[in-house]
Amino acid sequence: MKNKNKYILVLLIVFGVLAAGCMGQQTTPVTPTQSAPTDTKPAQTAPVIQANDKSTNDKMTDQDAQKMVTDGREIFRHDTFGDEAYWGDTLKLHQAIAGAANGGVGGGVDPKTALAVGLKVDVDALPPELVNNLKAGKVNLTDPATTIALLQLDAVVGVKGFFDENKNLKSIGITCALCHSTVDDSLTSGIGHRLDGWPNRDLNVGVIVSLAPNLQPVADRLHTNVTTVKAVLNSWGPGKYDAELNMDGKAMQPDGKSAATLLPAAFGLAGVNLHTYGGWGSVTHWNAYVANTQMRGKGVFYDPRLNNKAKYPLAVETGDWNIRNDPDMVTSKLPALQFYQLSLKAPIPPKGSFDETAAANGQAIFNGKANCDRCHVPPVFAEPGWPMHNASEMGIDDFQAKRSPDEMYRTTPLKGLFSHMKGGFYHDGRFATLMDVVNHYDKLFGLGLADNEKNDLIEYMKSI
């Protein structure tokens, strides 16, 4: 037994030396009868992480993540990136909103009109007394002064008013939330709690912009006249916007229809590569693109793919492929903005909004006979990797694809589909219903789906 213990001790010493060597530590072997030397320089090793350090690191990560979400939400909802210099100071949109009676021009925009063109009001920004008065019908919704009061409360989703010391509206800017948020109508139609990431398919961006008193800068950029600009803006319709028009100058499709596309959902994008119908880039790429080239914020943006005179003549002419503002009011906000957007979960379909039995049958068809899961891979319902396809693979024209740098279409994620069916499906709403979409693919791929299978498949898509 004594010899056995001796062998065990020797083995422990050997393993200790080997372990130290494997970790790259330079140590002096110490025997039971030998003290460690004290006159040598300390070994150059990495800091040893104590047991409680990991917990500290986790806490720091959690705190940072929460701060990113909080900061990102604030940026998404309220930051104009300095674009008031364009929408207010240049286009004078605030003057049209205020009206002549409130220091602006024309009749002004009252809340009733604002709600009619799809603008939303955040009920959580309203004082209790005003909420009660709205419920009681005691608020004048036909007076532009009421709109100005809502702007002073920062209650109009996606629109930020700037006021002088006398509370006169002096400028106006827009935020990400204008197009990519709506409300739950909890108080009344158009007034409720915010739903960030939901596309505002009620919003008529074109009509709103067309109200600006000074559209000459837009006409000059597009090499046309103000009358034509207004005609193009009014051709978009609710829930649509053209984010390439000021790059390629293509206002209409070859068939004469508007080139504007449906506002996409900004939720459920975690795990999904590329953003937009044409797969321009990542979420943060598109944030930078929109903040600088569409919202006209004051930041930095670089995309050499736009430096193509044949394809993007206006981007080359204006230098919008390589924007450099000093100070830069955009770039520092991109990390938190991206973090917040990727944290936005797709909404869960309400109980009773689909047939559960039919949806269960439809799931089997989705993953089986219809082979939908080949591209819409659960649980992200897009393709992991590079989710891009030629127009011929989808059985449609390539007009919108050709406007993007890679000239392809991205597989659109399906989660939360129930929340943005207004306006139709595909990038331009060409299919009015889900049945139209199913029929298209049934014919394109020769699936041979029976009517009951189609119906079940639709119920499943509504349940995702």
- The total number of structural domains that make up the chain: 1
Kindly list the distances between the CA atom of residue 168 and the CA atoms of 95, 156, 209, in Å, as whole numbers in the listed order: 11, 17, 21
Q: Could you write out the DSSP letters of every residue in 193-236? A: SEEET---TT--HHHHHHT-S--HHHHHHHTS-HHHHHHHHHHS
User: What amino acid is encoded at 363 in this protein?
Assistant: Q
Give the separation between CA 17 and CA 343, rounded to whole angstroms.
47
Distance separating alpha carbons of residues 84 and 89, to the nearest angstrom: 7
Predicted confidence at residue 56, as pLDDT, reads: 87
Is 8 domain-assigned? no
**Domain CATH code at residue 364:** 1.10.760.10
As a whole number of angstroms, the distance between CA 293 and CA 112 comes to: 30
* Rounded Cα distance, 383 and 414, in Å: 11
Is the bond preceding residue 387 a cis peptide, omega within 30 degrees? Answer: no
Dist CA 263 CA 242 (whole Å): 9
Low-confidence ranges of the chain (pLDDT < 50): 1-43
How many other C-beta atoms can be found within 10 angstroms of the C-beta atom of residue 26? 12
| End-to-end Cα separation, the chain, in angstroms | 68
Report if residue 33 sits inside a domain: no
Helix H or strand E segment including 162: strand 159-163
Decide if 302 is inside a domain.
no
d(CA 290, CA 194): 21
pLDDT (0 to 100) of residue 149: 98
How high is the pLDDT of residue 55? 84
Residue 9 placed within a domain: no
With respect to residue 453, please indicate whether it lies within any of the assigned structural domains: yes
Separation between Cα atoms, residue 102 and residue 354, nearest integer Å: 48
Residue 420 counted as domain residue:
yes
pLDDT, tens only, 390-447: 999 999 999 999 999 999 999 999 999 999 999 999 999 999 999 999 999 999 999 9
The backbone torsions φ and ψ at residue 211, rounded to the nearest 5 degrees and listed phi first, read -75, -15
Is residue 83 domain-resident?
no
Residue type, 174: I
How is 90-131 classified by DSSP, letter by letter?
TT-HHHHHH-GGGTSSTT---HHHHHHTT--EEGGGS-HHHH
* CA atoms in the 13 A half-sphere facing the CB of 310: 2
Nearest CA to 218 among 133, 296, 302, 160? Answer: 296
User: Which domain does 450 fall in, by range?
Assistant: 356-463
The token pair that represents 424 in the structure block: 């139709």
CA-CA distance, 74 to 385, in Å (whole number)?
31
Query: pLDDT at position 52, please?
Result: 57
Q: Closest by alpha carbon to 340, among 393, 404, 409, 267?
A: 267
Most distant CA pair in the chain, distance: 104
Buried b (16+ CB within 10 A) or exposed e, 276-311: bbbbbbbbbbbbbbbbbbbbbbbbbbebeebeeeeb
Q: Are 284 and 337 in contact (CB under 8 A)?
A: yes
Residue 428 lies in a domain: yes
Closest by alpha carbon to 148, among 177, 123, 170, 132?
A: 170
